[in-house]
Structure 1
Amino acid sequence: MKKFKAISSFLVLIFLLVSCGSDDGGGEIATDLQVIGIWDLAEVNISSSQDVDMDGTSSTNLMDEVECISGTILIDGDGVWTFEQTGISITAITGGQYFAQCSGNDVTGTGAWSVNGSQITFQGSTLLGTLSFSGDRLTNNVGDDLPGVRSYVYIRRE
């Protein structure tokens, strides 16, 4: 009987040591928890400064120039994301100047999400693709020159 108790105790100890290994993906769970929340659009960055609102101050962030731009990404704990954002129309004028306005064609989407290191992949739609995650910022680096957008930056809502 003593032998049986000793072997049983030894097996329980081995089971506990194996099940509490450092390769159990604990880091990924922590990253997943860091991205869950509501993210608000804070920057719509373009390749050269523009003074769209004609206030005498140019900016590479269209949100400084066009008041109607807004956007939100909801990343929930069930692995689902929801997205809505104002549609933006950028038109060339002359001499490297552009006009930007809200187009009235809001963009929406939903799907599943997953995290791999500092990258969040939004599945189910081509709207977001893969965004970079760093602290309280999500960045969608589109990389286009005007009349396209360089990047969209979202900040976690407090």
Structure 2
Amino acid sequence: MLATYYKIVLLIFNVGLTDFNIFMKKYTYYLFTCLVLVFISCSSDDSETATDDSALVIGTYSLSEINVNVAQDVDEDGTASNNMLDELDCLNGTLTINADGTWDLDLVELDITSVTGDFYAIRCGRTNNFTGKWTFQSSVLDLNASNFSAMVLNSSVLIEGVNEDLPGVLNRKFVKQ
């Protein structure tokens, strides 16, 4: 193999055999360095394999919070809350994340109408069923649906950050069952 390198050097630099010995004495260090660099650059380049953590998100979740930016006393018990589940018993939702990459959500909508200033008429709307396919990467669940934002999995809680002021909602939280 070394003889092959000598032949290549002779051809590239077009030197005779007598000049070759002088050439080798003069440039041995540089050739050795080039050889080392070639072997280093050809080392294994295996990167870490990505782990599939989608099993963490698979399961059934119950709606635990629908938060708004201004606390409201919808049930008129004298205590205002940002979490509309504390104010309306009719609100509920169940999100199921299936292992086959599909999801299903039954959700009672929140019907919010502006009255005046920071006061709103808030009541339960109709129950809707949503379905679709999901992806999960780096603790973020994407339902791939235009009417839902990506959700972040924090331990056993999925948090959908909608980030809308009233009459919209700030976030929804679902707790794994």
Q: Do both share a fold (TM > 0.5)?
A: yes
3-state SS, counterpart of residue 56 of structure 2:
helix
Does the 8 Å CA contact 1:89/1:103 hold for their aligned counterparts? yes
Q: 1:48-72, CA deviations, whole angstroms, 9 ceiling, x for partnerless residues?
A: 1110000011000000001100011
Does the 8 Å CA contact 2:67/2:83 hold for their aligned counterparts? yes
Amino acid at match of 1:24: T
CA RMSD of aligned residues (A): 1.6
Does the 8 Å CA contact 2:66/2:171 hold for their aligned counterparts? yes
The alpha-carbon deviation at position 84 of structure 1 amounts to: 1.2
| Structure number with higher relative contact order (C-alpha < 8 Å, ≥ 6 residues apart) | 1
Matched, 1:87 2:99: no
Larger radius of gyration: 2
The alpha-carbon deviation at position 101 of structure 1 amounts to: 0.6
The alpha-carbon deviation at position 22 of structure 1 amounts to: 6.9
Map 1:21-36 to 2 at 5 A: 23-26=48-51, 29=52, 31-36=53-58
- Distance in 1 (CA, whole Å) between partners of 2:125 and 2:58 is 30
After superposing the two structures, state which structure 1 stretch, 88-97 or 60-69, moved more.
Answer: 88-97
- Distance in 1 (CA, whole Å) between partners of 2:69 and 2:135 is 30
3-state SS, counterpart of residue 85 of structure 2:
helix
Alignment correspondent of 2:133? 112
Q: 1:2-56, CA deviations, whole angstroms, 9 ceiling, x for partnerless residues?
A: xxxxxxxxxxxxxxxx9xx772222xx2x21110000110000000111000001
Percentage of matched positions with identical amino acids: 32
Alignment correspondent of 1:153? 173
Amino acid at match of 1:153: K
The alpha-carbon deviation at position 94 of structure 1 amounts to: 2.5
- Distance in 1 (CA, whole Å) between partners of 2:132 and 2:119 is 37
Residue among 142, 164, 169 paired with 1:144: 164
The alpha-carbon deviation at position 107 of structure 1 amounts to: 2.2
Alignment correspondent of 1:63? 85
5+ residue gaps, structure 2, are: 1-43
- Distance in 1 (CA, whole Å) between partners of 2:74 and 2:169 is 15
- Distance in 1 (CA, whole Å) between partners of 2:160 and 2:62 is 13
Does the 8 Å CA contact 1:109/1:127 hold for their aligned counterparts? no
3-state SS, counterpart of residue 148 of structure 2:
coil
